[in-house]
Chains A and B, each alone.
Chain A
């Protein structure tokens, strides 16, 4: 079983839709959770960083962590064509080891 599971998609939504991206994990020791956005031929860009359970909001983006279910989500409100990218989840319990999902490909159709 992989440490982090992420549905690869692809996911296609119309402009303005609410997007929900999810990851599950198996290691209950994970405490730090991240979402990255990666455009084609570019490096991942950090979008959200959360510690332990709860919600964090930044503009149109909301990250949720449910440690009891070992499940994290990223919501994108009022999705735009510029949100079309691959979204990677990542998590960690130490200062030097990070575990990544395989990424979900998102296309927002104008």
Chain B
């Protein structure tokens, strides 16, 4: 159960768009449309931002969008705002009937 691979950090200026990748294998990300994305501020519990690759829970800004191509899922934040500065984690269902998280990405708003 190796963690999914994410870039350690991504940065952007206010108003720009950034994309965070989440790379797995065909036994997890590539095999199922069960990829979720979570936002976490320091010292706080995570918050669900995207589920089943592209779906946004009620209350989550439409500036957040998800997609997937092959074994890589992506989270795009458009119109970057200072409040988006946080850690982001992807997660996926796996062929072993388990869940796995990504390594995490720190988003910095310049």
Do A and B assemble together?
no
Interface residue ranges, B against A (CB under 8 Å): none
Interface residue ranges, A against B (CB under 8 Å): none
